[in-house]
Amino acid sequence: MSVAYVTGASSGIGRGAAVRLAEDGYRVVLLGRSQERLADAAAECGPDAYYAAFDATSAEAVDRELPSLLEQYGAPDVVVHAAGQTVVGALDQLTPQQWHQQMDVNLTSIYLLNRHLWPAQVAAGGGSVVLIASTASFAAFPQDAAYVASKGAVLALTKAMALDGAPAGIRVNAVCPGFILTPNLQGYFDAQDDPAAASGGAAAAAPLGRMGTPADVAGAIAFLASPASSFVTGTSLLVDGGLMARVPG
C-alpha cells in the first residue's frame, strides 16, 4: 500500500487532503499538534491511518518523532506540507515573536520535516511532494505581511525543491488556494474590523461566487500526487474559483 504523510492534518486543508488520499487508497500518516483532533481526522481516514501529535516547528520534536515513523510506516510515496497559520498585521505592527511564529509554521516546518522525509523518498526511488502555497504567493493582502511573505517563499521553495528532486524521481508542486473556508481563514476574518463583511467579501470575490472547501483543494492535491501528473513538477496550481483571473473593478 502506498504511503502518504500529511502535515497540518488535524483540520482544514490538511485534513481534507488526508481524507481524500485515504479514499484514493493511500495509507495516511497524519501529522499535527492536536492529538484529539488528529485522532478524529484519522478515524475518518479509515483503519489503516495513523497519527502522531508533535510540534513540526521544533527541530527537537521532529528529530525525535520522524525516524520512528519512517521505520514503522515506511518511506512516503506522497508528502503534503499543509501545516499553516495566519498572523495578521502590517509589517511594522508585528512583534518579532509573531514574525518568527508565522515563518516557523508556514516555512520552517517544511525544512525540518524535509530533512527526514526527503532522504527516505530518494532511497525509495522517488515520489510526489505537494506544498500548500496561496493566492497570496502572487498578490498581497493588506494587514497580512508575514503571511504573504511566507507564502511567496513557499512558492519559490517549490521550484528549488523540484530542481533538486528531479534527478531522484521526486516531483514537487504547489497548490495555491484562494479563499477556502477553514478555521485558519475564519481566524483571519475574526481579526478584521467587520468579520461579517470580510467573510461576505471573500465569498463574492471569486467569479464562481463562493468560497472554496478543503475538499476542493484536496482534489488538486490528489491529482498532483497521482501518476496522472507524472510530467508535472516545479509548478503551481491555483484553486481559487477564478479569483486571480479577474481584473479588480
Question: Tell me: the pLDDT tens digits for 26-77?
Answer: 999 999 999 999 999 999 999 999 999 999 999 999 999 999 999 999 999 9
- How far is residue 131's CA from residue 116's CA, in Å, rounded to a whole number? 16
Q: In the prediction, which pLDDT does 216 show? A: 97
Counting Cα atoms < 13 Å in the Cβ hemisphere of 26 gives 28
What are 171's strand-pairing partners? 128
- How far is residue 11's CA from residue 202's CA, in Å, rounded to a whole number? 20
Average of per-residue pLDDT values in the chain:
94
How would you label 46-70 residue by residue, b for 16+ Cβ within 10 Å and e otherwise? eeebbbbbbbbbeeebbeebbeebb
- How far is residue 8's CA from residue 83's CA, in Å, rounded to a whole number? 4
Give yes or no for residue 248 having a pLDDT over 80: no
Establish whether 26 is a catalytic residue.
Answer: no
Give yes or no for residue 249 having a pLDDT over 70: no
- One-letter identity of residue 210: R
Q: In the prediction, which pLDDT does 193 show? A: 78
pLDDT band at 128 (very low <50, low <70, confident <90, very high): very high
User: Which residue is associated with the grid cell 483503519?
Assistant: 47
pLDDT (tens digit, 9 = 90+) per residue, 161-186?
999 999 999 999 999 999 898 777 77
How would you label 194-232 residue by residue, b for 16+ Cβ within 10 Å and e otherwise? eeeebbeebeebbeeeebbebebbbebbbebbeeebeee
- How far is residue 249's CA from residue 78's CA, in Å, rounded to a whole number? 40
Q: What is the pTM of this model?
A: 0.94
Catalytic residue among 5, 51, 73, 147: 147
Angle (CA) 130 64 156, round 5°: 25
Of 173, 172, 179, the C-alpha closest to 214 is 179
Rounded average pLDDT over 98-116: 98
**Dmax (CA) of the chain:** 54
Phi first, then psi, for residue 227 (nearest 5°) are -60, -15
Q: Residue 19 has which C-alpha cell?
A: 481524507
Mean pLDDT: which of 59-68, 135-144, 204-213 is highest?
Answer: 59-68
What's the Rg (C-alpha) of the chain?
17
